[in-house]
Structure 1
Amino acid sequence: MKYILDTNIFISLVRNNDFSSHFNRIYRKRNDVSFTSVVVEGELKAFAMQRKWENKRLKEVQTLLQKTVIAPIKTEEIISAYAEIDAYSQGKHPTLNLPTSARNMGKNDIWIAATASALELTLITTDKDFDHLNDVFLDVIWIDITDFSNL
């Protein structure tokens, strides 16, 4: 399986041993390839800086990122997917109808979803903000973080 990891997955991997064990058992298979967006890398660095993470945790994040393909966002396919997803989320897509009211997604989340869509990757997240995109632009695997005790 090829998948893209959302920011909250990396944070949970570093902060929660139960989650990390579960994730590694289910998603870190021999032929699986994990991707993330350069946007996630930026969010992780900002998160760590604002919380004054110690060197041990920073090294854990860096190790995880080194095992992950980091996709840039400066490709025509990703930029086009961004426009499509943003328009759809606002209920203003010219050909796709949003079955619910408009969704105000964070701009970084749109970039992450666009990267997943353009590269045909399954998005793994703990964030419900991507639900309306599932089976429309991408496949989303949502993990309920409350299932893991020590976060």
Structure 2
Amino acid sequence: MFLLDTNHCSYAILGNTQVLDRLANLADESIATCTIVKGELIDMAARSQQRQANLALVQRFLIGLYIYPIDETTAEIYGNLKAAVFDRYAPQERSQRRRTNITQLGIGENDLWIVAVTLQHQLTLVTTDKDFQRIQAVQPFDLESWI
């Protein structure tokens, strides 16, 4: 099973042939995304110059995908993952550590949620975002790019 990250969903929506060819060769039930990615796609479309047209494209694309929700188990995985990322990358000095947030470490909050869903459901995350490799160094998970 594959979980498409925001960039691969965007590539598909924009007609990237590499991504579309790969999607065409997979069974529909093996392709999914999650509520975090859905939110990012809607945000991007809503802030674009062609708001209505882009929102329609996003909605049409999402109709064909299973969208994994966030639940209690996801939250537990997320919390433990975030703590492990902090242990690995945050400053060790206590006063600096307290003032450090996850984005200062080069990792987005949403990326942690996406990985939590990936881990929870034992999926392969499909992305071109290199930040996920830093998370993967802390907690192994399957990661690939179709670009």
Normalising TM by the smaller chain, what interval?
A: 0.7 to 0.9
Asked if 2 retains the 8 angstrom alpha-carbon contact of 1:4 and 1:121, the reply is yes
Secondary structure of the equivalent of 1:51?
coil
What CA deviation, in whole Å up to 9, does each residue of 1:13-47 have, x standing for no partner? 223x3xx2111222432435111111111111111
User: What one-letter code is carried by the residue in structure 1 that aligns with 2:83?
Assistant: A
Aligned to 1:8: 7
Q: Cα gap change, 1:137/1:81 in structure 2, threshold over 3 Å: closer, same or farther?
A: farther
User: What one-letter code is carried by the residue in structure 2 that aligns with 1:126?
Assistant: T
Q: Cα gap change, 1:80/1:61 in structure 2, threshold over 3 Å: closer, same or farther?
A: same
Aligned to 1:38: 35
- TM-score normalized with structure 2 length: 0.77
- TM-score normalized with structure 1 length: 0.75
Identical columns (%): 28
Q: Cα gap change, 1:83/1:54 in structure 2, threshold over 3 Å: closer, same or farther?
A: closer
User: What one-letter code is carried by the residue in structure 1 that aligns with 2:12?
Assistant: L
Structure 1 distance, partners of 2:127, 2:26, is 21
Which runs of 5 or more residues in structure 2 are unaligned?
91-104
The residue correspondences of 1:1-151 to structure 2 (distance < 5 A) are: 2-15=1-14, 17=15, 20-31=16-27, 33-76=30-73, 78-90=74-86, 92=87, 98=88, 101-102=89-90, 103-134=105-136, 136-144=139-147
Greater helix content: 2
How many residue pairs end up in the alignment? 131
Asked if 2 retains the 8 angstrom alpha-carbon contact of 1:85 and 1:137, the reply is no
What CA deviation, in whole Å up to 9, does each residue of 1:38-58 have, x standing for no partner? 111111111111113354433
Asked if 2 retains the 8 angstrom alpha-carbon contact of 1:14 and 1:57, the reply is no
Secondary structure of the equivalent of 2:67?
strand
Alignment RMSD (CA, Å): 2.1
Which runs of 5 or more residues in structure 1 are unaligned?
93-97, 145-151
- CA offset at residue 12 of structure 1? 2.0
